[in-house]
Homo-oligomer: A and B are copies of this chain.
């Protein structure tokens, strides 16, 4: 425990170059108050001696604080998913806060564009060096991104993406692929003529891009080369967040769809799958295979009692963790990070769920 790693330091470079440590520092940080000649010489020697800066010493000496702001929806009954990313952000902060990082989360209401707007204003006022943003409203996002580019503020998109808006990195899930995963899980072992239902439970006030992309992925799985589907697929769009109304619409779709075939499986394109499970529970519908998204408590309960067969997890804690780390690596470690960070599409069953509930990123006590 007592051995010293010999390393090349700034003073070594300075000596060899016949300049002062201060000048070497200036070269390292591209402060262009250095003559081209000196700069080249120093750079040459750094390369020769394979100089690696000691980041700990650098941070200690510079006494800078770097500020990260996160702008995400608050978790409400209708957006419970958003409890999780905040945990990941917190873990990341815990891990690296001694590098002089300050972090504040600015919450907005998922269903309220005005709150998004005002949160943006508060973030601007706080003037962070990097931002994790859940870009729910595209128009406001575009403006905000332009503002940040102007101020050279780094921006990471979490969970949602607009590929046409520039950003440092996107951390989330490939929605199309996740729909295909759901399709495989519902297709497995079914009879050729079994029908499947796709249920979109939407809230009309906000974008439902995810849901539609997931449905698209799901359907693509069953597409034959002639453009028809290999299996009967029916889509039900429920435009409501009222429990009773949702229940009624599901009932209509499953039970009383006239002469149509009873579905053998249901794909709910978001975390509201528990509504369908609730309904099946009351109508002894365990034979209908059910697949949905996200490890909400209500969903977990139904996974455990066999009403939900599979949940697809979006890895929300990891999303928070990675988003934060994307900023950290860029702003503190000066690394280059990938633009797209698609997290795994985790398939959760009653049997493996316990190992997804203890969070994935490494634990801090």
**Smallest CB gap from A176: residue in B:** B351
Contact flags (1/0) for A322-357 with B, using CB distance below 8 Å? Answer: 100100010000011110011111110111101110
Chain B residues with CB under 8 Å of A351's CB are 177, 180-181, 183-184, 221, 345
Known contacts A189-B190, A352-B177, A352-B344; is A98 also within 8 Å of B55 by CB? yes
Known contacts A56-B99, A63-B4, A189-B189; is A345 also within 8 Å of B355 by CB? yes
**Smallest CB gap from A354: residue in B:** B177
Check B355–A336 contact: CB distance below 8 A: no
Chain B residues with CB under 8 Å of A309's CB are 188
Contact flags (1/0) for A10-32 with B, using CB distance below 8 Å? Answer: 00000000000000000000000
Q: Is A60 an interface residue (CB 8 A)?
A: yes
Q: Is A100 an interface residue (CB 8 A)?
A: yes
Chain B residues with CB under 8 Å of A329's CB are 362, 364
Check B64–A100 contact: CB distance below 8 A: no
Check A5–B363 contact: CB distance below 8 A: no
Known contacts A2-B64, A356-B344, A363-B337; is A181 also within 8 Å of B98 by CB? no
Chain B residues with CB under 8 Å of A325's CB are 362
Q: Is A83 an interface residue (CB 8 A)?
A: no
A to B CB contacts below 8 Å, 23 in the list = A2-B65, A4-B65, A56-B99, A174-B355, A177-B355, A181-B351, A181-B352, A184-B349, A189-B189, A189-B289, A325-B362, A329-B364, A335-B364, A336-B365, A337-B363, A337-B365, A342-B358, A343-B355, A344-B352, A344-B355, A344-B360, A347-B349, A347-B352
Known contacts A181-B352, A355-B174, A356-B344; is A60 also within 8 Å of B64 by CB? no
Check A346–B346 contact: CB distance below 8 A: yes
